[in-house]
């Protein structure tokens, strides 16, 4: 929009832009001030700010490259934040490695290109974005008022993503694993007696959740439904800020 206003045939539009640029030091809510604030965090922030102040067009390819680099910087801090932060968990369980070329296309998650119902897509998205109702996060959101220990089995373990995917001995969840047993063939060895896994680590979680098999989304969705039913609180009762984390 900025470049378009600079190159506009209308003298009035160009004068309005020039006036707005001159006004931004003393008007924090003007359009130019808000645009300059948006440059913060970009590798070439100073260059873009200087271009606007001097009325010079911004090269869109350079600006796009810088936006992509800023997004990469967010994922680069994943290991520096808390173990239950949305960024660190998403990077560990679902993160697709970036191409060395900043201009290379970013690939969408497999489930977004598969034919699933709206309900399945919603459940999978909630699971990936940590907007679910597993007890580990309910305890965080309630500031310790609730227990994070799984109430569906007797393992006395925290009910987190790894627990419900692989370890919980709840009969309904074990039956669900048996129903989708082919998903576990390459990443985990299910116990023939309990359909559970005793040891789970982040690489196992990542390999399991990175499968392109369309059945994975069905499994995750049905698992979410079981957890919702077990917790006894419908999805619609959950606050809308859950995905943000603590």
Whether residue 96 lies inside any domain: the answer is no
Q: Are residues 141 and 196 in the same domain?
A: yes
pLDDT of residue 96: 73
Query: For the chain, how many structural domains are there in total?
Result: 2
Q: Are residues 54 and 126 in the same domain?
A: no
For 132-144, the pLDDT digits (tens) are 889 988 888 888 7
Q: Are residues 119 and 59 in the same domain?
A: no
Q: List the structure tokens of 167.
A: 């370890």
pTM over 0.95: no
Q: Are residues 63 and 114 in the same domain?
A: no
pLDDT of residue 230: 64
Q: Are residues 166 and 238 in the same domain?
A: yes
Residue 58 scores a pLDDT above 90: yes
- Domain that includes residue 31, residue range: 2-67
Over its C-alpha atoms, the chain yields an Rg (Å, rounded) of: 24
User: Which whole-number Å values give the CA distances from 234 to 32, 52, 69, 159, 224, in the listed order?
Assistant: 45, 50, 39, 18, 11
Q: Which residues of 200-221 are buried (b: 16+ CB within 10 A; e: fewer)?
A: beeebbeebbebeeeebbbbbb
Residue 241 scores a pLDDT above 50: no
User: Which whole-number Å values give the CA distances from 114 to 6, 109, 124, 177, 220, in the listed order?
Assistant: 43, 10, 12, 21, 14
Whether residue 90 lies inside any domain: the answer is no
Out of 51, 67, 83, pick the residue that ends a domain: 67
Residue 173 scores a pLDDT above 90: yes
Whether residue 74 lies inside any domain: the answer is no
Q: Are residues 40 and 140 in the same domain?
A: no
Q: Are residues 56 and 131 in the same domain?
A: no
Whether residue 95 lies inside any domain: the answer is no
Q: Are residues 47 and 128 in the same domain?
A: no
Share of the chain above pLDDT 70, in %: 87
What's the CA gap between 188 and 215, in Å, rounded?
Answer: 16
Whether residue 82 lies inside any domain: the answer is no
Whether residue 60 lies inside any domain: the answer is yes
Q: Are residues 230 and 145 in the same domain?
A: yes
Q: Are residues 239 and 122 in the same domain?
A: yes
Mean pLDDT, range 95-119, rounded to an integer: 84
Q: Are residues 115 and 224 in the same domain?
A: yes
pLDDT of residue 84: 62
Mean pLDDT, range 109-127, rounded to an integer: 93
Of 26, 112, 98, whose CA–CA distance to 65 is shortest? 98
Out of 67, 102, 121, pick the residue that ends a domain: 67
């Amino acid at each position: 929009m900025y470049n378009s206003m600079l190159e506009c045939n209308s003298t009035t539009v160009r004068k309005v832009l020039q006036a707005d640029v001159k006004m931004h030091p003393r008007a924090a809510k003007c359009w130019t001030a808000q645009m300059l604030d948006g440059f913060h965090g970009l590798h070439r922030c100073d260059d873009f700010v200087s271009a606007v102040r001097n009325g010079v067009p911004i090269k869109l390819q350079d600006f796009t490259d810088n936006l992509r680099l800023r997004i990469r910087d967010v994922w680069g801090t994943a290991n520096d934040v808390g173990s239950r932060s949305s960024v660190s968990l998403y990077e560990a369980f679902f993160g697709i490695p970036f191409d060395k070329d900043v201009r290379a296309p970013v690939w969408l998650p497999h489930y977004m290109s598969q034919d699933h119902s709206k309900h399945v897509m919603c459940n999978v998205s909630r699971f990936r974005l940590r907007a679910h109702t597993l007890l580990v996060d309910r305890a965080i959101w309630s500031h310790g008022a609730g227990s994070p220990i799984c109430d569906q089995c007797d393992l006395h373990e925290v009910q987190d993503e790894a627990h419900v995917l692989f370890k919980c001995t709840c009969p309904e969840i074990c039956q669900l694993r048996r129903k989708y047993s082919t998903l576990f063939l390459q990443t985990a060895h299910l116990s023939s007696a309990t359909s559970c896994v005793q040891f789970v680590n982040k690489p196992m979680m990542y390999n399991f959740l990175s499968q392109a098999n369309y059945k994975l989304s069905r499994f995750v969705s049905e698992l979410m439904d079981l957890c919702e039913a077990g917790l006894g609180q419908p999805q619609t009762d959950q606050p809308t800020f859950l995905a943000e984390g603590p």
